[in-house]
Amino acid sequence: MLMDLCTQKGNISLVACATQMCFLSTLGSAECLLLTAMAYDRYVAICHPLHYTLIMNPKHCMQLVDACWTCGVPVMIGQTSHIFTLPFCGSNRIDHFFCDLPPVLKLACGDTFENKMAVYVVTAVFATFPFLLILISYVRIISSILRMPLARGRAKAFSTCSSHLTVVVLFYGTASITYLQPKPRQAEDNGKLLSLFYTVLIPTLNPIIYSLRNKDIMLALRKLLSYQHGEKT
């Protein structure tokens, strides 16, 4: 996708398009599940701090990560294969920056009802259900934080969740606006631009967002900014 945006050629083979869609779906589902696992981690850390090391031991963490990365792979491969068995007998121009599910399904000239239903089911399992689990986790987390007697403890607990919550809002916010908004022409164009946020911008910002709580990173950033400010003056 980045290569096409840079070269402005915009050509892609059928196999490459299917591969791109499969990777996009697999990595998107893994992102949703990883965000859910991280919400569970924050829930255990704040609501059950005395049991944290027992529950979130290295073995359990590895099992969670393995499940997040692997459980979506066969589903997304099957869904992509099912879509690309459809006949494409009309235009071969995809109205998007990359091979996403909705614009590719628009090009199919066969009956796409089953495929669309499969997309809705997969979205519910790998995006909506994890988001509900994240919401439930944060309801419990906020409830526990508000019961803390000391303001310093509440501030520390909120700061523990700030990075993860920021990423959740950015990722789910842009993705929801992209796929759930009405589909007039202007909305479709806005959706294409928003899709660049959760496929390019947010993954680029993730390391920065998560590392801002690191004291060494913050110290280095302050030194860099003060050095640049000194050069300008």
Per-residue pLDDT, 187: 56
What Cα–Cα distance (Å) separates residue 31 from each residue in 27, 50, 106?
6, 28, 26
Per-residue pLDDT, 182: 61
Decide if 18 contacts 99 (C-beta within 8 A): yes
Q: What is the per-residue DSSP string for 32-46?
A: HHHHHHHHHHHHHHH
Domain residue ranges of the chain, discontinuous segments joined by +: 1-181, 191-232
Structure tokens at 218: 């913050």
Fold of 1-181: Rhopdopsin 7-helix transmembrane proteins (1.20.1070)
Q: Judging by beta carbons within 10 Å of its beta carbon (0-12, 13-18, 19+), is residue 216 exposed, middle or buried? A: exposed
The residue among 110, 127, 121, 103 whose CA lies nearest residue 29 is 127
39-60 pLDDT, tens digit each:
999 999 999 989 999 999 999 9
Per-residue pLDDT, 229: 63
pTM for this one?
Answer: 0.85
Q: Which stretches of the chain score pLDDT less than 70?
A: 181-189, 213-214, 228-233
Per-residue pLDDT, 29: 93
